[in-house]
Amino acid sequence: MGRVAGIFIAAEKEGPLEPRDEAKAVPGRGLEGDRYFAKAGTYSKTDGPHREVTFIESEAIAAAERDEKITIRPELTRRNILTEGVALNHLVGREFRVGELRFRGIRLCEPCRHMESLSGVAGARKALVHRGGLRAQVLDEGLLRVGDEVRTDP
């Protein structure tokens, strides 16, 4: 079992992701207040459950620093939820819980040039390939909080 180590929301397209202690998750929309919730994100034209919420492992960020010698703060990865102690790649196609809420892993969230450009961290894309996180669908409405348990037994 893992836990939520951080929650990040960007109110506008290409805007900075700001840390939150909690966020309201809404099925079909994502995290209230986030650019993709408002259909205002860079990639909002390709709508669908894969745009609702993104997760990244704190361990992946640490591995990027260890293996590629780059430092990237969690919010610069452009992912909404930072986890600790859970292998996100294994959740593709599976339901899982964060606190009392259910999510479904849709696909990996591979890093792109746009993320690297906005982060200002040269090499971030390469460092996060295959460990850039998880795109997930929100299945239940409710509050998500820093410290919530992430469980793979739905």
Weakest mean pLDDT among 106-110, 123-127, 140-144: 123-127
In the predicted model, is pLDDT for residue 53 greater than 80? yes
Host domain of residue 137: 2-151
pLDDT value, residue 1: 83
Domains identified in the chain, total number = 1
Which residues are CB-neighbours of 22 under 8 A, at least 6 positions away?
Answer: 7, 143, 144, 145, 146
The CATH code of the domain that includes 41 is 2.40.33.20
Q: Which of 58, 83, 59 is nearest to 1 (CA)?
A: 83
